[in-house]
Amino acid sequence: MKLATYKDGSRDGQLVVVSRDLALAHFATGSATRLQQVLDDWNFISPQLQDLYVTLNQGKARHAFPFDPRMCMAPLPRAFQWVDASAYLPHLQRLRQARGAELPESLTTDPLMYQGGGDDFLGPCDDAWFGSEAWGIDFEAELAVITGDVGMGASPEQALDGVRLLMLANDWSLRHLVPAELAKGFGLLQSKPATAFSPVAVTPDELGEAWQGGRVHLTLQSSCNGRKVGLNDAAPDMQFHFGQLIAHLAKTRNVRAGSIIGSGTVSNADPGKGFGCLAEKRAFETLQDGAPKTPYLSIGDVVRLEMKGRDGTSLFGAIEQRVAGPQALQPPEEAGLAEAGTGADASDG
Amino acid sequence: MKLATYKDGSRDGQLVVVSRDLALAHFATGSATRLQQVLDDWNFISPQLQDLYVTLNQGKARHAFPFDPRMCMAPLPRAFQWVDASAYLPHLQRLRQARGAELPESLTTDPLMYQGGGDDFLGPCDDAWFGSEAWGIDFEAELAVITGDVGMGASPEQALDGVRLLMLANDWSLRHLVPAELAKGFGLLQSKPATAFSPVAVTPDELGEAWQGGRVHLTLQSSCNGRKVGLNDAAPDMQFHFGQLIAHLAKTRNVRAGSIIGSGTVSNADPGKGFGCLAEKRAFETLQDGAPKTPYLSIGDVVRLEMKGRDGTSLFGAIEQRVAGPQALQPPEEAGLAEAGTGADASDG
């Protein structure tokens, strides 16, 4: 099943069930108004939503309406926990190699994860607002899961059973603020502003055989201003699967329903696949040519992330966000937002 | 006004208004059932609770009942954001000096803050459960504030205006897991298990003149098994006030209603005041005698934190928690929990 949260002026929005092809939506009001409610009481509420989903897919839902991703908040507009990993080693390897740092051996056995802020997520089509271009604005194309309750000390297999929903994330990053925060050792705070999530969150069964061993065996498409940045296979280079990441988090505490765990920037050892963020592209350029040639993002740039199922249809809908900031913005039409939106399929493919 | 959340078997509990002397409570049902609701709509709901508070203090509330801290969850049983600072430099100085590390100059101008997990807080009298004593179990006696909405780029003064409530926190820490996580640079994850908060959260006006310049000018009492560990003045050595801490967090993102910001372990340059955690006491012992003599906590130990107002009454109620773990526990009476509870006033004073 596919779930989304519609903007209604409230902080938590209105839960909607979305058809498999992302064409239709239906308010879930009879069962729940907010996604957190569903996660809090999954076994009781989710079957009701699944029934509505089946009816909706059959074209028989009486109050269905056309689904519009621009009406979406993040599926969980705010979450009690957001933890992001860095589970793709090629991403770390390139970044560290480019600055002449060693990759510690332990990273193959001990996941790198940081705790993020869950209080202010962005919807998939919301502008991402930054105080300064000088901060080094970058996107990160990621997968993320939303969990049910996972008890302290859970094994990776038990933790994997706790995965309720999957979605895409754009983990906005401020690259020039990262080094000082890494040096402090206390994690990433100012360098990780509000994260955005895909229009819909989907249950693992929607992925069919593409969901295997806690990894998603599909391609994550990243583009900037309609031009491809990456077409990355999400499975092969993911060092730790989602069950392992959740279990790492749960070693010393309970992980409660509605926790979001991100994969980190999807990346491949093969640079021909492109990159899931600009920092990695710049690191690759540095390693090749001695200096980066791709600039970080500017006000007005549009980032688009999407993942298609094996049948070629969009699984989660696209994250498509414009970089916004204190300098005056052009109206969306003139800035080419509509164009990037409609033209992205071709340029991403 | 003073607010608490009573256990009712649900994840968010039931909001109660508590009398100034912590003797009586009253369900806030007519205005709100959960504290997050109040924070989401503070200007509308808080005056209603304030009215109930006045009536309760006058002894005229019709359905008042005796307040029992053991019935309390954390005032916010789960929060969309929990960020903890380390704002007391003597704490950092002792810890780093004891391990021969330098205190970077920047710590006097750039606050150290880590993002914590908000999904699973402990109530003030809940057992704190740990998988192993070998992790180096320690408490941290802290102040914390709950904010309203604070916009990106807010000044320290604007941020300070966003403080809605104050409370105590026990930021449980696993000392032997800290060094490896600090070295990874991504912050404290496994080394910071579920945090506990005081029975009540109070509006700043409850502190009177003791709330000045974003600091609390009162003494935080810490004890372990009924024996004093610290009697620390919370104001003089707090390098950054709460407005500065919130503004640091808000530099690159909005801070939304219900965010909790902690002060870090309250500490004083004068070691005669004692310590707000065992790690600092051990660091002091190491600097004095070459080795620590105070062990970390064991299963069955009881930690108690409390802060009294200038009139001598308990401001927030006491956090009083027993360390629990996989090894068999004695019943509370035999372990001396009741004794530590009633005897703590004397031994803390």
How confident is the model over B79-96, as pLDDT tens digits? Answer: 999 999 999 999 999 999
Residue of B nearest to A120 (CA): B256
Contacts of A194 in chain B (CB under 8 A): 253-254
Contacts of B187 in chain A (CB under 8 A): 114-115, 185-188
Q: CA-to-CA distance for B200 and B73, rounded, in angstroms?
A: 9
What contacts A282, CB < 8 A, 6 or more positions away? A98, A292, A293, A294, A296
B5 three-class SS: strand
CA B335 to chain A, closest CA, distance in angstroms equals: 24
Contacts of B81 in chain A (CB under 8 A): 117-119
Does the beta-carbon distance from B186 to A118 stay under 8 Å?
no
Q: What is the CB neighbour count within 10 angstroms for residue A61?
A: 18
3-state DSSP percent of chain A in helix, strand and coil, to 5? 30, 25, 45
pLDDT of residue B249: 98
B246 token code pair: 């919130």
DSSP state, A69? Answer: G
CA A253 to chain B, closest CA, distance in angstroms equals: 5
A303 token code pair: 């980032």
- Please, which residues bridge with residue B274 across strands? B230
At residue B29, φ and ψ (nearest 5 deg) are: -45, -40
Helix (H) or strand (E) holding B147: strand B141-147
Average pLDDT for B252-258: 97
The CB-side HSE value for B61 (13 A sphere, CA atoms) comes to 24
pLDDT of residue A328: 46
Q: Which residues of A233-245 are buried (b: 16+ CB within 10 A; e: fewer)?
A: bbbebbbbbbbbb
pLDDT of residue A101: 81
Query: What proportion of chain B, given as a percentage, has pLDDT over 70?
Result: 93
CA dihedral B122, B128, B134, B136 (to 10 degrees): 60
Query: What proportion of chain B, given as a percentage, has pLDDT over 90?
Result: 89
Query: How big is the CA angle at B180 (ends B192 and A216), to the nearest 5 degrees?
Result: 80
Does the beta-carbon distance from A119 to B80 stay under 8 Å?
yes
Of B317, B316, B323, nearest in space to B337 by CA? B323
3-state DSSP percent of chain B in helix, strand and coil, to 5? 30, 25, 45
Dihedral sign (CA A172, A178, A181, A183) = positive
Query: How big is the CA angle at A184 (ends A181 and A185), to the nearest 5 degrees?
Result: 95
Of A158, A218, A223, A171, nearest in space to A198 by CA? A171
Does the beta-carbon distance from B118 to A81 stay under 8 Å?
yes
Quickly state the pLDDT bin for B29 (edges 50, 70, 90). Answer: confident
B294 token code pair: 């105070």
**H-assigned helices in B148-289:** 156-161, 178-184, 242-249, 278-289
Does the beta-carbon distance from A117 to B183 stay under 8 Å?
no
Q: Are strands B113-116 and B81-85 parallel, antiparallel or unpaired?
A: antiparallel
Average pLDDT for B181-209: 96
Q: CA-to-CA distance for B73 and B64, rounded, in angstroms?
A: 19
Of A283, A281, A305, nearest in space to A172 by CA? A305
Q: Which residues of A30-58 are buried (b: 16+ CB within 10 A; e: fewer)?
A: ebbbbbbbbbbebeebbeebeebbebbbe
Predicted confidence pLDDT, tens digits, chain A (349 residues): 999 999 999 999 999 999 999 999 999 989 999 999 999 999 999 999 999 999 999 999 999 999 999 999 999 999 999 999 999 999 999 999 998 887 778 889 999 999 999 999 999 999 999 999 999 999 999 999 999 999 999 999 999 999 999 999 999 999 999 999 988 889 999 999 999 999 999 999 999 999 999 999 999 999 999 999 999 999 999 999 999 999 999 999 999 999 999 999 999 999 999 999 999 999 999 999 999 999 999 999 999 999 999 999 999 999 999 999 985 444 444 444 333 333 222 222 2
pLDDT of residue A327: 59
Does the beta-carbon distance from A114 to B189 stay under 8 Å?
yes
Q: How many residues does chain A have?
A: 349
DSSP state, A121? Answer: P
Q: CA-to-CA distance for B52 and B57, rounded, in angstroms?
A: 9
Cβ proximity of A86 and A171 under 8 Å: no
Of B81, B82, B10, nearest in space to A37 by CA? B10
pLDDT of residue B327: 59
Q: Does the pLDDT of residue B315 top 80, yes or no?
A: yes
Burial class (CB in 10 A: 0-12, 13-18, 19+), B131: middle
Does the beta-carbon distance from A252 to B78 stay under 8 Å?
no
Does the beta-carbon distance from A252 to B135 stay under 8 Å?
yes
Q: CA-to-CA distance for B1 and B201, rounded, in angstroms?
A: 8
CA distances from A250 to A224, A231, B130, B164, B314 (A): 36, 32, 12, 31, 35
Give me chain B's average pLDDT, please. 93
Of A259, A255, A283, nearest in space to A271 by CA? A283
Does the beta-carbon distance from B255 to A174 stay under 8 Å?
no
Residue of B nearest to A119 (CA): B80
Q: CA-to-CA distance for A220 and B177, rounded, in angstroms?
A: 35
Q: Does the pLDDT of residue B279 top 80, yes or no?
A: yes
Mutate to test the interface with B, among A122, A174, A186, A261 (most CBs of B within 10 A): A186
Contacts of A187 in chain B (CB under 8 A): 114-115, 185-188
Q: What is the pLDDT of residues B85-138, one digit of tens each?
A: 999 999 999 999 998 887 788 889 999 999 999 999 999 999 999 999 999 999
Cβ proximity of A128 and A321 under 8 Å: yes
**H-assigned helices in chain B:** 35-40, 42-57, 89-98, 156-161, 178-184, 242-249, 278-289, 337-348
Q: CA-to-CA distance for B288 and B319, rounded, in angstroms?
A: 30
Does the beta-carbon distance from A188 to B186 stay under 8 Å?
yes
Q: Which residues of B202-213 are buried (b: 16+ CB within 10 A; e: fewer)?
A: bbbebbeebbee
